Structure 1
Amino acid sequence: MLIIDEKIIELDELADRVAAAFMKLDVVADFKARKLAFESDDELQQKLQTLEENRDYITYRPEIRALQQEILMTDAIYQLKIAENDVQMSLSDLAKAISGVISDAIVVDENLPLKKGGHHGHHH
């Protein structure tokens, strides 16, 4: 049974403050803006809906494969993925900082697909 004491409550409040501070980071604001742009692009959303409705036929319909390629090449999706990767990198950095306080032996799985390429090699 978990015993709730002042230290657990203090840790919970600290976690809330860390989360609130993280949400105020520029990288999170950029991600939110990119996500809103993606969701607000009616033409792109219609194409995504068409793709989803025809996903079972992608092997047999070259126009659906072409639509998928077109969607993947849109700037809105590219920018959203970059922003998402930046948020993941910031979360990873935070997790490494927290785990490093406990022990250098704790490994944080970054799982950042874009880390080695693009502007992420010189990330701030």
Structure 2
Amino acid sequence: MSMKSSPLGSIDPSLRGKVVVGISWFEQADYAAARAIMTDDVLPASHDLWLQKARKSEREAQEMGYRTVRAVIDPKTFPAWCAENGFPDIDAKARMAFANHHAAGQIRN
């Protein structure tokens, strides 16, 4: 996740350490079911490959000074969350919104 390609690169540097970044997270036992409900085809074929990329993204965000929160996606409840929150597609946009929603709930004054 380079500064140029990362959405984190557009955040004001003075907010580092204050901004909580949500990262969509999948439990290994749920990964196949989660991939099956997604309408986009961007998740890696295996949980191991996904986990490697997710940990790298998480580490890079932390190295940039952001707090990270893992937003675990449950494939049984995520479609309902998407529908309730105006996401007709169960895709990367919905996953990002879910992660941001989860992170916002973790902010402590």
TM-score normalised over the length of structure 1: 0.21
Larger radius of gyration, structure 1 or 2? 1
TM-score normalised over the length of structure 2: 0.23
- Name the structure where helix makes up a greater proportion of residues: 1
